[in-house]
Structure 1
Amino acid sequence: MLQTPSSSSMMPETHADARPRRSKRHSVRDWVSTEPGAWSIALFPSLAAWAAAGPTWASTWLVALWALCYCVQFTAARWCKSRFRRRYLTPMVTYALILAAAGVPFLVLHPGILWWAPIYVALCGVSLLASWMRRERSLWANLVAVLAASAMATVIAPFGSRCAAPAATDHLPRFYDPTLLPSLGVEIAVGFALALFGSVLFVKTMIRERGRRSYLHASWTYHAILVALGFLCDVLYGVLALALLARAVALPLIARRRTVPVKVVGITESIMSLLMLILIPLGA
């Protein structure tokens, strides 16, 4: 039988009823990144290298560890930005413990990956400093994020089945070991770094730096140079750079005549990110 709602359920929500819902919603947001674009920047270079180098158990494990690293990073960034509020401490510590539990066995099996540790400690330190200064949207902070995400393509590539010396990571090199930098991983990393930094410039021309000619000219010049470099290296790179240039020019010009919602910018960048994920590995 259908039940008739009681009168109490038909009453408007009181402040006492709304507070638990709001607190529950806030608690969920404390654990999940609310920026889809950040997820694509963090993971797409890794996924591209994972696919191009040939998926293995080790490379799949490493991609999962990198996703956990990102969870630790964005919760730690919130903790620093809030001046170490307890609210953000629990998600950060929980993600860090999960990362340690999943990551220590990987380090035991592949200690050679520790060669990258000083580089990522420095990048993470600069990122957290930007959050503490509340400058995480600055150009230099965005550049650090792009470099960290893009470099992961080089970290993951040696674990692929198509690399010449996948066992190079099974020992800890005393100094520099060239097998830790396979050309495939380096090419994917450079391709993503160049393309993603162009995305950073474009998004700034549409949102935070909208109307500033200096940023607009810098974005157009950068993308034009990217097109030239792309076609010099590979047709697929040139096609990708041309698509990036088209949106970098078209949307700011449209924004002069009418309002372009932030959602449209986000959808456009999602499409561009998918093009990067497809064309950069194919070009490499």
Structure 2
Amino acid sequence: MTSTKAPRSTGRGKKKRHKGISPWVPNQHGAWAMLVSPAVLGLVSGLVTWNREAEAGWTPAVVFPAVLVAWFFGYFAFFAFGLAAKARNPRRRAHYLTPVYVYGTVALAGIAVALLLQPPLIWWAAPFAPLVAVAVWETIQGRSRSTLSGVSTTIASALLFPALTMVGQGESVSTPLGVPDMAWTSGLFLAIYFSGTIPFVKSMIREKGNWRYLAGSIAYHVAAVILVLVGTAFSSVGWLAGCVMALTMTLALARAVLIPHSASRGEVWSARRVGVAEVPILLAACVAVLLAV
């Protein structure tokens, strides 16, 4: 009797598929909190402000989505640009540049719509342009994950909060100087908090074991607690929001000390675990800003 059993496949005839990083979908999961949180919080502040401003007009209804499109697609373009800057193969570089052109065009369209309907928003180019320039320069120099690059992008992200608040003011203001003190204080708080996550995470991963870097991270957080305490005491965010902001930075200081200490004693802290441990502090920061709004 002839056997009908099929021969076992050795898999030699199959082509191996190597999956690289997709330039269309950012894979830096830690950056998403920085990317999304100020945008969502700023939108809430802008909508609340729009509801309060009798002279805001109708333009915020279109400018809000235009600014958000510019922000998110601008980041997508920047991420793909970072991959293209590191690529050595011309074909691969061209592959990475395609989303740069696509996302960049969409981002520029969002900026154009926003400026067409609310021209005073052009003032925000003054702080945004140098911050973006620093991040781009660091990327070109092969330092896309440097502390300087990270801080520049987090500050730009935090500025989205007062910028979207100004969008909600519509035609009632002509410069960022007319943005409420609450928005500036909240934006500064977000910049301080998110900037602190950079040295903390680096002290756990890329700079693990570098005690001078760890000392710098702890020193930053101590200064951040003091700055937030002083800043909220002289602002109009309200006592409850100010207390939660100070509590958030105190918790951030505690984790900047205790988690690296735990790791030095042999406890395993993977990148995923470090990210999960940051979630409660991030939520506290968001609650603080919402209380200020």
| Band of TM-score, shorter chain | 0.7 to 0.9
* 1:180-259 alignment, distance < 5 Å: 181-232=179-230, 233=232, 234-258=242-266, 259=268
The answer on 1:26 being equivalent to 2:20 is yes
The match for 1:87 is 95
Deviation at 1:235, TM superposition (A): 0.8
Q: How many residues align?
A: 263
Q: 1:129 to 1:15 in 2, by over 3 A?
A: farther
Gaps of at least 5 residues in structure 2 are 49-59, 233-241
Q: 1:112 to 1:11 in 2, by over 3 A?
A: farther
Deviation track 1:192-221 (CA, whole Å, cap 9, x = no partner) reads 111111111111111111122222222222
The match for 1:178 is 177
Contact 2:69 2:106 in 1 (8 A): no
Give 3-state SS (helix, strand or coil) of 1:26's partner: coil
Q: 1:281 to 1:13 in 2, by over 3 A?
A: farther
Deviation at 1:67, TM superposition (A): 1.1
State the TM-score, normalized to the length of structure 1: 0.82
Tell me the distance in 2 between the aligned counterparts of 1:73 and 1:244. 28
Amino acid at match of 2:122: L
State the TM-score, normalized to the length of structure 2: 0.80
The match for 1:167 is 171
Deviation at 1:14, TM superposition (A): 4.4
Contact 2:39 2:161 in 1 (8 A): yes
After the TM superposition, which segments of 4 or more aligned residues of structure 1 sit over 3 Å from their partners? 10-17, 100-103, 228-232
The answer on 1:43 being equivalent to 2:36 is yes
Contact 1:220 1:248 in 2 (8 A): yes
Gaps of at least 5 residues in structure 1 are 1-5
Q: 1:177 to 1:276 in 2, by over 3 A?
A: closer
Tell me the distance in 1 between the aligned counterparts of 2:6 and 2:129. 58
Give 3-state SS (helix, strand or coil) of 1:53's partner: helix
Tell me the distance in 2 between the aligned counterparts of 1:260 and 1:238. 26
Q: 1:183 to 1:7 in 2, by over 3 A?
A: farther
The match for 1:150 is 158
Quick one: which of 135, 139, 144 aligns to 1:131?
139
Deviation track 1:249-268 (CA, whole Å, cap 9, x = no partner) reads 11101101223212111222
Tell me the distance in 2 between the aligned counterparts of 1:40 and 1:60. 19
The match for 1:59 is 64
Give me the identity figure in percent.
Answer: 24
